[in-house]
Chains A and B, each alone.
Chain A
Amino acid sequence: MIEPVALQDFFLTFFSAAMVILCGALYALLFAYARVRRRQRLMPLAYLAYLGLVASVLVLAMAANLFATGFWTFIVMLMLIGYLLAPHAIWHLCVGTHAHDHPDQESGPYQKQS
């Protein structure tokens, strides 16, 4: 069922697991920021963060022996795809739920005129 982490991989496991979550958040953050401020230049950075996430997930998968079984390989896939799409989905939700706030949502920057 599981193949426990080898002693020499402990650090790698902790570190890559932390990086998965940190990169995931950074990607989401940059993605949202680029859209909300209409700074398309930031978008490549967002995807760079996602690449960091991919690398972290793969390192975690090696260190924690996740490729040893089909189920855990599936979890790896799930993380790769899920974290790629989640910020997109959540972004759409943000726009959707704030529809009343911003009638012309598709045109203006998301800045409150105050």
Chain B
Amino acid sequence: MAMPGTLDSANLNGGQKLAVKYFTVALALFGAQIVFGLLAGIQYLKPDFLYGVLDFSVNRMVHINALVVWLLFGFIGSSYWLLEDEAGIPVVGLRLGNLVFWVFTLAVAVVVVVYLLVQIGPGDHSTLWLINEGREYIEAPRWADIGIVACVLAFFFNVAATFAKGRYTGIGGVLVLDLIALFGIYLAGMFYTPNISVDQYWWWWVIHLWVEATWEVLVGCLMAYGLMQTLGVRRKIVETWLYIEVALMFGSGILGLGHHYFWIGTPEYWFTIGGFFSALEPIPLVAMVVHSVFDSGTHNMKNNNHPALAWIIAHAFGNFFGAGVWGFMHTLPQINLYTHGTQWSASHGHFAFFGAYATLVIAFFYLALQKWRGNVWMSGGLAGAWRWKWALGLLNLGMVGMVMAMLVAGYEQSQIERAIEGSSWVGYFVAQAHPWFVQGMWWRQVFGWMFAAGFVLLVWDLLTLGRGERRPAQAHSESAPR
């Protein structure tokens, strides 16, 4: 065993060694996401910036694809992270898992290089197969789709086979079923149709059923594990609550899909379905609030990893505000008619993606770091603790600032472009030229730089936190695994 306080893979089990590889790539892609977000943001202010070289469409595509892929890498890494702890045995087929990691990473790199250098192609199927599919978030060309499915099948084999051979915990069972759903849904986005209504119908299956159903349940599994690790909550309780959450999330989230079917050609009954389930969607969030108060009342918040817990708390708030509050504000068709496809959507999209998912993956980065350094002390009185605190503050403030800036812009846009001007070409630019909008875009950029500064600190912190720390991690008040 190495000295505590140094990064040493001897501190990790097989699955965790693979996990930290996925985490490393995830962090790099997070950086790329920010760079291209900033470029796209600048183009709102200075339209000639990189015009004809890296057009807005290219920057935005890389921005949101990097987002989706770094979160998926974070989730896959997190799953490998908890796999051996949960199943009680070494990962089955780990060599395959390692090989697939490199193939997957290489494929992502090739896709991005083609996005940047080739960008677009002729209007026929060859472009969809080789360059990009031109469908938001799932632009990856068809060859990459197939590659992704193959890689993910291998990952799935690792997870399912390990649980099957070891023991199937409740978390394990939910995780396996959820992964089937998560990647099964991806298939719904892998076909071509000339019919834009049919296209968008299935496109939303992928996007909505990911972020409001399967991803929520996946982070539910990760949270369950994280709570046992950081707070030492008992397994039976954690797992019962995981089931409750699955019931509430899927019960409201699956048919909540209706809130995307108001205006794409689909029948009017989706108004009713979308409205009804949107009214239910806050219930799981209320459940989490009550339960977390209950838990903090019954466990005295002694925890062994302060940065991780701080990010878990950020996750709870972010999920509540970004998805719950921001989602509900524009979800009823009576108002969505005017907010649909404006900066309003962008405000909500940023808040929810960051609040619900980016935060939790970052929490796992810290859990991994602690163990990697030999399970060292990461509670109060840590050397250089200012770094993680400032990173936390800058990232969250930067995000909230961007979200507010887009909210103001979207508020103006929904009124002037959508309601007054009837969404015409002229009306669009009247709204874009309004001072509230223009200033909103400037503030988005300013807070974007703040966010980027937070990211730099985060990386620095992940490279240094706990280095040379000799104290062992603080013990739990209760012991976690059964």
Contact A101 B234 (CB under 8 A): yes
Asked whether any CB of chain A lies closer than 8 Å to the CB of B10, the reply is no
CB within 8 Å for A87 and B290 given contacts A10-B411, A36-B298:
yes
Q: Are B287 and A111 in contact (CB under 8 A)?
A: no
**Judging by beta carbons under 8 Å apart, are A102 and B329 in contact?**
no
Choose from B293, B294, B299, B334 the contact partner of A64 (Cβ within 8 Å).
B334
Partner of B294, one of A13, A100, A110: A110
Is the pair B293, A32 in contact by a Cβ cutoff of 8 Å?
yes
* A41 interface residue (CB < 8 Å to B): no
Q: How far is the CB of B247 from chain A (nearest CB, A)?
A: 11
Task: Give the residues in chain A near B297, CB-CB below 8 Å.
Answer: 33, 36-37, 110-111
A14, B329: Cβ atoms closer than 8 Å = yes
Report whether B290 and A31 are in contact in the complex, using a CB–CB cutoff of 8 Å.
Answer: yes
In the complex, are the beta carbons of B283 and A98 less than 8 A apart?
A: no
CB of B88 closer than 8 Å to a CB of A: no
The one of B240, B268, B293, B328 in contact with A20, judged by C-beta atoms closer than 8 angstroms, is: B328
- Contact with A28, one of B234, B290, B299 (Cβ below 8 angstroms): B290
How many residues on chain B are close to A (CB under 8 Å)? Answer: 46
Q: Which residue of B lies closest to A22 (CB)?
A: B325
Contact between A4 and B337, CB atoms less than 8 A apart = yes
Minimum CB–CB distance for A54 against chain B, Å: 15
Contact B237 A101 (CB under 8 A): yes
Residue in A17, A22, A65, A86 with the greatest tally of chain B CB atoms within 10 Å: A17
Residues of B within 8 A of A79 (CB): 279
Known contacts: A5-B338, A75-B279. The answer to whether A98 contacts B329 by CB under 8 A is no
User: Is there an interface contact between B293 and A10, defined as CB atoms closer than 8 Å?
Assistant: no
B300 close to A (CB within 8 Å) = yes
Give the chain A neighbours of B287 by CB distance below 8 A. Answer: 86, 90, 93
- Asked whether A5 and B335 contact (CB < 8 A) given A25-B285, A75-B275, A82-B283, the answer is yes
| Cα-based distance from A66 to B325 in the complex (angstroms) | 19
Report B284-308 residues with CB < 8 Å from chain A CB.
285-287, 289-291, 293-294, 297-300, 302
Chain B's closest residue to A33 (CB) is B293
Q: A4-B338, A5-B338, A112-B477 are in contact. Are A32 and B298 (CB under 8 A)?
A: no
Interface of A is mostly: helix
Does A47 lie at the interface of the complex (its beta carbon under 8 Å from any beta carbon of B)? no
Q: Is the CB of A4 within 8 A of B334?
A: yes
Question: How many Å from the CB of A63 to the closest CB on chain B?
Answer: 9
Q: Is the interface of B mostly helix, strand, loop or mixed?
A: helix
Q: Which residues of B contact A97 (CB under 8 A)?
A: 237, 240-241
Q: Which residues of B contact A98 (CB under 8 A)?
A: 237, 294, 298
Q: Please tell me if the beta carbons of A32 and B234 are within 8 angstroms of each other in the complex.
A: no
* A24 and B293 contact, CB distance less than 8 A: no
Cα distance A72–B272 when bound, in Å?
A: 8
Known: A7-B420, A32-B294, A97-B240. A14 touches B411 (CB 8 A): yes
- A114 located at the interface, meaning its Cβ lies under 8 Å from any Cβ of chain B in the complex: yes
Which B residue sits closest to A20, measured CB to CB? B328
Q: Does B28 contact A (CB under 8 A)?
A: no
Q: Which of A5, A90, A94, A100 contacts B334 (CB 8 A)?
A: A5
A66 with B334: CB separation less than 8 A: yes
Contact of A25 among B234, B241, B286 (CB under 8 A): B286
**Min C-beta distance of B322 to chain A, whole Å:** 12
Q: Of A10, A87, A112, which one neighbours B335 at CB under 8 angstroms?
A: A10
Which residues does chain B contribute within 8 Å of A112, judged by CB atoms?
Answer: 298-300, 477
Q: A7-B420, A86-B286, A98-B294 are in contact. Are A21 and B234 (CB under 8 A)?
A: no
Residues of A within 8 A of B241 (CB): 97
Interface on A for B, CB 8 Å cutoff?
A: 1-5, 7, 10-11, 13-14, 17-18, 20-22, 24-25, 28-29, 31-33, 36-37, 64-66, 71-72, 75, 78-79, 82-83, 86-87, 90-91, 93-94, 97-98, 100-102, 110-112, 114
Give 10 CB contacts A-B under 8 Å: A5-B338, A7-B419, A13-B329, A13-B332, A13-B334, A65-B334, A91-B290, A101-B298, A111-B297, A114-B302
Q: B residues engaging A (CB < 8 A)?
A: 234, 236-237, 240-241, 244, 268, 271-272, 275-276, 279-280, 282-283, 285-287, 289-291, 293-294, 297-300, 302, 320, 324-325, 328-330, 332-335, 337-338, 411, 414-415, 419-420, 477
Given contacts A2-B271, A25-B286, 11 further A-B contacts (CB under 8 A): A14-B329, A18-B325, A25-B282, A29-B293, A32-B294, A64-B332, A87-B290, A94-B294, A100-B236, A102-B298, A110-B297
